[in-house]
Amino acid sequence: MSTAELHDTLHIRPVTTALGAEIDGIDLSGPLPGNVVAELRQALLDYQVIFLRNQNLTTQQYLAFSETMGEPMDYPFVKGLPEANLITPVLKEAGETTNFGGVWHSDTAYLEEPPKATMLLAREVPPYGGDTLFANQQLAYERLSDGMRAMLDGLIGVNSSVNSNNIRTHVDRDVPQLDTNGSSGFIAEHPVVRTHPETGRKSLYINRGHTIRFKGMTAEESLPILNYLFDHQVTDEFVCRFRWAPGSLALWDNRSVLHYPLNDYHGYRRAMHRITLRGDKPR
């Protein structure tokens, strides 16, 4: 992979060899030509997470851009902005110590049709800290042994909106506790190894925030394998790190990427706006 690639209109700089690219030469505040939209969509498939800086968009401009990349969808548990209910505020006040979604996860894996992609726009960031990590789950799958891949290919993961092992995202904290058999709340069963509907590549599709066990096994039986995979899937070589600034926008493929917002900026406010794009049932 080259240090920088020049597409027809976009200047793309890979962040790491694993995933991630920063894109220059584009202003998202107005309508985009079809070829530019096509290049952005291809860049997302190629790099799995793309970053665009200095995008000081109004609420409506942000929503309009999201509609060129997919279909915005409601997010469970969290109310959207009064003026745009499909945009979810992701906020940590200066006096808070718990951040939003503060664990490695893919968004809402407990839904029957989880989002295909998520975008996050920085409105206010701390003077330091608050970076987000992203992990390539295609690489995570490919770097497993042949025997482990063969075993996982037939397994189904049970994903819940409240993790019984106290590994819960911030948005789940007001939802009634769910036991390991999924007796309340959102719950969905998905392949542990999913096939990307656009590229055909396989990736791990479990995450520490939501996957509680394998179908047909108890939580206790599942936990040793899950814990190994949870650690493996965020190995340093699969990860990139993004430092935010006001107007920074990240767009990632929720079907093959985990993310983790670092909680290392106590005493400062961080305000982001998130949009999730409708996906399909993992296969």
How far is residue 95's CA from residue 113's CA, in Å, rounded to a whole number?
A: 35
Interatomic CA distance for residues 54 and 57, integer angstroms: 9
SS3 1: coil
Q: How far, CA to CA in Å, does 44 sit from each of 19, 157, 208? A: 10, 26, 24
Per-residue pLDDT tens digits for 39-55: 999 999 999 999 999 99
Q: How far is CA 17 from CA 13, 50, 137, 219, 250, in A?
A: 11, 13, 14, 35, 18
Per-residue pLDDT tens digits for 185-203:
799 999 999 999 999 999 9
Q: Domains (ranges, CATH) in the chain? A: 1-278 (3.60.130.10)
pLDDT of residue 168: 39
Annotated catalytic residue, options 107, 196, 208, 213: 107
Confidence of residue 8 (pLDDT cuts 50, 70, 90): low
Q: Out of 170, 255, 259, 273, pick the active-site residue.
A: 259
85 vs 60: CA distance, rounded Å: 11
Please give the Cα distance from 283 to 219 (Å, whole number): 23
Confidence band for 3, pLDDT divided at 50, 70 and 90? very low
pLDDT at residue 28 is higher than 60: yes
Q: Model confidence over 96-131: pLDDT tens digits?
A: 999 988 999 999 999 999 999 999 999 999 999 999
Helix (H, G, I), strand (E, B) or coil at 250: strand
pTM: 0.90
C-alpha span between 171 and 101 (Å, rounded): 7
Please say if 259 is a catalytic residue.
yes
Model confidence band, residue 177 (pLDDT cutoffs 50, 70, 90): very low
- Token readout for 197 is 């509907």
- Catalytic residue, from 105, 123, 170, 208: name it: 105
pLDDT above 80: residue 178: no
DSSP state letter for 249: E
Q: What is the mean pLDDT of residues 133-144?
A: 98
Do you know the residue count of the chain? 283
Catalytic-residue membership of 274: yes
Mean pLDDT across the chain = 91
pLDDT at 166 over 80: no
What number is the average pLDDT over the span 58-77? Answer: 96
Concerning whether 107 is annotated as a catalytic residue, the answer is: yes
Q: Which of 123, 190, 210, 274 is catalytic?
A: 274
Return all residues near 209 (Cβ < 8 A) that are at least 6 apart. Answer: 101, 103, 104, 105, 109, 163, 167, 168, 169
